[in-house]
Each structure stands twice: as structure tokens, then as C-alpha cells.
Amino acid sequence: MKDIEIAIKYLKEYNLAIAAVKNGELIYKSKEKGIKPMYFLATKMKEITKGASIADKVIGKGAAMLCRYIGVKEVYAQLISDSAMDQLKKGNIVYTYGEACPHIKNRNKTDMCPIEKIATDVDDMEILIERIGKFFEGRV
């Protein structure tokens, strides 16, 4: 079974928000919603996650940029935004998805996801990581 298939299996069977698999082994999982798990991978597990396959419930532009930053080889998203697909293509990351949308919405579906907004005008990974960090500190 391919790493991405294992990651998808974990995502669905255990109702996770994200599952990362490398060399047939689950290396990270989380039920926490939002960008926090992907941000954790990018800031605390970058070297370990390089070359992994990730299955995630939602991938917006910010999450896709973090996948590129980490060096992920394959991504599955239950929901993916158009700008996320563009980012994954730029990074030559193989991806599959359940449903696509123009942009990810916030949790109450009244506006664009705050991380999608933060990432809108960014192409530099370090700037994105800094902005997400400030978002978590409540400074954005």
C-alpha cells in the first residue's frame, strides 16, 4: 500500500484532521482543526516530514505552501482550494482531492478562512510562517 493510501485510511478511519505517513509508517496525526497541525509540521518536524505523504481534511493556499516548505511528496485533501492546487503544482507535489472550491471559508462560512486571507498575497514561505505565528499570537 502506498504512503498516501495509508494516510487516507488513517484520516478516514480515525476521523483525523491530518495524517502524515512516510515509508509506510504514520509519523504524525492530529484531530485539531485549522492550520495548527500543518504549522507544527513545518516548524517542529520539517526534516522528519520531508518526503512524506499527507492526507488532510482541508487544504487552502497556506497549507499547500507549508506542504511545499516541508517537501511533501503527495497530498490528499477532502476539500481543496483553487489556489492550493496552484501551489501544489508549483511544488511538483502530486495531489488528489474529494472536492474543490474557489477558496476555503471560515468555520461559520461567513467569509474567507483567515489563513487563506493571510496567504493571499504571499509567495515567500518564511513570511507565511511568520504571519501564521502572529495569527496564533492574536497579532494579525
The CATH code belonging to domain 3-137 is: 3.40.140.30
Please tell me the pTM assigned to this model. Answer: 0.95
- Kindly tell me if the per-residue pLDDT of 140 is higher than 80: no
Q: What is the pLDDT of residues 61-89, one digit of tens each?
A: 999 999 999 999 999 999 999 999 999 99
| Buried residues in 58-96 as b, exposed as e (16+ CB within 10 A) | bbbbbbbbbbbbbebbbbbbbbbbebbbebbeebebebe
Separation of alpha carbons 29 and 84, rounded Å? 21
DSSP-derived secondary structure letter, 23: T
Q: Which residues partner with 100 through β-bridges? A: 80
Length of the chain counted residue by residue:
140
Helix (H) or strand (E) holding 61: helix 61-70
